[in-house]
């Protein structure tokens, strides 16, 4: 029986670039985007139930574009540990593309999935529903990860990972 004085380990979660973008963006006039921004802010407030990780790839993407917006994105990720880009990460990302898990133009998106899988993270949190949190691609991405020897993360949006209130 587990020792009740020892808290259970936190689930390990990879924060992808779109989360920092939605978290720090000026409020949108588009109702759906504004709702996603609020959901992201609400999730971020409750993030302590997870052990967060990100990567240099995320920091590079977050640092691009408008300097003020980039500074806000980078600041939001301050203190989040980085997972390392390894040779296995590149191999898995290329395999995801080669086997049609994502379009050939989505290499950086495949790298995000590979980073989370190679480092054994439980979740990959994203608003990128074109290539990452895409229901039509998800099972193929998971199969590719498994056949290359890695357990895939649960790929989800903040809506899917909302804590019960």
CA pair distance 32, 51, nearest whole angstrom: 28
According to DSSP, residue 155 is labeled E
Distances (CA, A) of 35 to 2, 134, 163: 40, 19, 17
Q: Where are the alpha helices (DSSP H) in 16-161?
A: 17-24, 31-45, 56-62, 67-76, 87-98, 107-118, 135-147
Sheet holding 154-156, edge to edge: 82-83, 50-55, 11-15, 123-125, 154-156
pLDDT at 95 over 90: yes
Q: First-to-last CA distance in the chain?
A: 28
CA pair distance 106, 50, nearest whole angstrom: 27
Chain centre to alpha carbon of residue 145: 16
Helix (H) or strand (E) holding 86: none
What is the average per-residue pLDDT within 123-142? 96
CA pair distance 154, 136, nearest whole angstrom: 15
CATH of span 11-156: 3.40.50.1010
Predicted model pTM: 0.93
According to DSSP, residue 61 is labeled H
Any idea which of 7-16, 65-74, 127-136 has the lowest mean pLDDT? 7-16
Band the pLDDT of 3: cuts 50, 70, 90: confident
pLDDT of residue 8: 76
* Model confidence pLDDT, tens digit, residues 138-163: 999 999 999 999 999 999 999 998 76
* Model confidence pLDDT, tens digit, residues 44-58: 999 999 999 999 999
Distances (CA, A) of 64 to 24, 57, 60, 61, 162: 14, 11, 7, 5, 29
pLDDT at 38 over 90: yes
């Amino acid at each position: 029986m587990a020792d009740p004085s020892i808290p259970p380990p936190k689930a390990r979660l990879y924060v992808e670039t779109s989360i920092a973008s939605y978290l720090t963006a000026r409020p949108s006039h588009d109702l759906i985007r504004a709702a996603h921004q609020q959901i992201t802010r609400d999730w971020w407030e409750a993030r302590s139930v997870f052990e967060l990780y990100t990567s240099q790839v995320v920091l590079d993407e977050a640092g691009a574009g408008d300097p003020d917006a980039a500074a806000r994105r980078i600041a939001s990720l301050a203190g989040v540990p980085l997972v390392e880009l390894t040779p296995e990460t590149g191999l898995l990302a290329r395999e995801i593309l080669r086997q049609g898990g994502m379009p050939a133009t989505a290499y950086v998106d495949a790298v995000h999935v590979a980073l989370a899988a190679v480092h054994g993270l439980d979740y990959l949190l994203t608003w990128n529903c074109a290539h990452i949190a895409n229901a039509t691609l998800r099972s193929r991405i998971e199969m590719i990860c498994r056949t290359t020897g890695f357990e895939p993360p649960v790929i989800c949006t903040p809506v899917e990972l909302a804590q019960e209130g």
